[in-house]
Amino acid sequence: MIPQTTLVLGASTKVERYAYKAIQRLRAAGHAVEALGRQEGQVEDVIIQTDPTQVTTTIHTVSLYISPPHQEGYREWLLALQPERVLFNPGTENPSLAKVLRENGIVTENACTLVLLSTNQY
């Protein structure tokens, strides 16, 4: 089976950030991970890209770690990306964006990636 890829949007090299921890936990669980952030860097074997056009892999899940005002700049790109689902981690909930995504056939969840991984519900 080909692993399904998760994109961490809002990736960071700062170890105290939840996006950093999510990348670590996703990799530890064997998930393929792409990362997109404001600054280039690397978390374990995952390179953080800064340009959305650099994401060329088919993405199954987008795990959001950016606030709703910053999400607006990614709205059209997310629609074009057509992931299976988008996870709105705590603090990133955005009913307006979630509605548009659902209207375009993308599953949305207000859920914590770290909790889903730790409870084997990812």
CATH number at residue 75: 3.40.50.720
Query: How far is CA 31 from its chain centroid?
Result: 12
Q: pLDDT tens, 74-122? A: 999 999 999 999 999 999 999 999 999 999 999 999 999 999 999 999 9
Domains in the chain: how many in total? Answer: 1
Domain that holds residue 76: 5-52+59-99+108-118
- Prediction pTM value: 0.95
The whole-angstrom separation of Cα 66 and Cα 79 is 17
Q: In which band, very low, low, confident or very high, does the pLDDT at 70 lie, cut at 50, 70 and 90?
A: very high
Q: How confident is the model at residue 60, as a pLDDT? A: 97
Task: Give the mean model confidence (pLDDT) for residues 48-73.
Answer: 95
- Across the chain, mean pLDDT equals 95
Q: How confident is the model at residue 2, as a pLDDT? A: 57
